[in-house]
């Protein structure tokens, strides 16, 4: 194990040698405890919390796995035994069945409203729709997240799509180049960027300009809802578009900026084994004027 392989920052904070020693002691002394419980324990001991006081448990679990990859510690076996890359199975109900075709233009639909999926029923509907219809299927978002069902009021009240925002990609060369921040500032201000990790209009909804209208509504919603939930004011949205499947027209129509492409690596590809395997277009949407300047600020 090389010392330079050990990640020494977590969510914009420096991790000290004493922090690492404590983390390894927790892992070594808590035999039989799940990875999630280990992450919660570490967060409690080190005070790794969001501005709203909640534990950064999801991010901490990923950090513990990075420490394991570096050879610094050995985590317990994962309790789930699903094959790597398999999709989450979602129960199918009548709420996810195809509806009556909806055509026309966005002006015919009345109000377009994003309602957060907060209660059990709406969360299940969100999971089912996202699990059944997009090619990616349903997966658990990394870190913080807000999920929405998209409703229209005309010709009747109905759900026409889903939108999810979650924690940003740790590194995106084209995004980071557009912002122009250094490594230290990126680590400190990264959580002011939000990732549009899912966007679905249901296949039987063929309405002109609806996609760009939803994206515009979502941008306004994030500026309000994200600070309430996470006590962090976002200044930039990001998303990744599979260029082999989609052109990104709706993002351009909603004034998102295409800034480049990804390398094709995933979060877990530390060995660069999948470089170029799934290249995606990178789009950004500033929520404030001079967003790049704000993100470079100390």
Q: How do residues 147-176 score in pLDDT, each as one tens digit?
A: 999 999 988 899 999 999 988 888 899 999
pLDDT at 272 over 90: no
Per the structure, the complete domain to which residue 176 belongs is given by: 162-296
Count structural domains, the chain: 2
**For 45-86, how does the pLDDT look when each residue is reduced to its tens digit (9 = 90+)?**
898 988 888 888 888 998 999 898 888 988 888 765 544 444
Within a domain: 93: no
**Is the domain of 166 the same as that of 272?**
yes
Look at residues 46, 69, 92 and tell me which one is the last residue of a structural domain: 69
User: Which pLDDT band, with edges at 50, 70 and 90, does 142 fall under?
Assistant: low
d(CA 215, CA 227): 19
d(CA 128, CA 259): 32
CATH number for 177: 3.40.630
Within a domain: 65: yes
Within a domain: 272: yes
Look at residues 18, 35, 69 and tell me which one is the last residue of a structural domain: 69
pTM above 0.85, yes or no: no
Tokens representing 120? 């059990």
**Is the domain of 179 the same as that of 291?**
yes
**Is the domain of 166 the same as that of 43?**
no
**For 179-229, how does the pLDDT look when each residue is reduced to its tens digit (9 = 90+)?**
999 888 887 888 899 999 999 999 999 999 999 999 999 999 999 999 988
Within a domain: 228: yes
Least confident piece of the model among 27-31, 78-82, 118-122, 284-288: 78-82
Within a domain: 150: no
Q: Which residues have a Cβ under 8 Å from the Cβ of 286 and sit 6 or more positions away?
A: 235, 236, 257, 292
**Is the domain of 60 the same as that of 179?**
no
**For 233-259, how does the pLDDT look when each residue is reduced to its tens digit (9 = 90+)?**
999 999 999 888 888 999 999 999 999
Q: What is the pLDDT of residue 271?
A: 43
Within a domain: 89: no
Within a domain: 91: no
């Amino acid at each position: 194990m090389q010392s330079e392989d050990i990640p020494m920052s977590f969510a914009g904070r420096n991790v000290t040698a004493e922090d690492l020693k404590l983390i390894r002691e927790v892992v070594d002394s808590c035999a039989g405890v799940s990875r999630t419980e280990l992450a919660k324990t570490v967060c409690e001991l080190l005070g790794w919390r969001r501005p709203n006081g909640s534990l950064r448990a999801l991010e901490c679990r990923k950090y513990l796995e990075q420490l394991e990859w570096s050879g610094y510690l050995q985590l317990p076996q994962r309790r789930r035994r699903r094959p790597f890359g398999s999709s989450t199975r979602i129960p199918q109900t009548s709420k996810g069945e195809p509806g009556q075709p909806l055509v026309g233009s966005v002006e015919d639909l009345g109000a377009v409203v994003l309602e957060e999926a907060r209660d059990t029923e709406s969360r299940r509907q969100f999971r089912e729709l996202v699990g059944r219809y997009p090619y990616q299927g349903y997966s658990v978002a990394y870190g913080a997240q807000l999920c929405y069902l998209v409703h229209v009021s005309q010709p009747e009240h109905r759900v026409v799509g889903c939108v999810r925002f979650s924690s940003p990609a740790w590194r995106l060369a084209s995004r980071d180049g557009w912002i122009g921040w250094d490594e230290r500032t990126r680590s400190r201000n990264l959580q002011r960027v939000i990732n549009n990790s899912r966007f679905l209009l249901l296949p039987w909804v063929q309405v002109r300009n609806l996609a760009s209208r939803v994206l515009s509504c979502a941008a306004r919603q994030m500026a309000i809802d994200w600070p309430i939930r996470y006590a962090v004011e976002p200044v930039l949205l990001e998303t990744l578009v599979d260029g082999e499947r989609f052109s990104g027209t709706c993002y351009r129509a909603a004034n998102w900026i295409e800034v480049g492409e990804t390398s094709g690596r995933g979060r877990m590809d530390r060995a660069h084994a999948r470089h170029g395997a799934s290249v995606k277009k990178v789009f950004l949407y500033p929520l404030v004027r001079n967003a790049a300047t704000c993100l470079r600020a100390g």
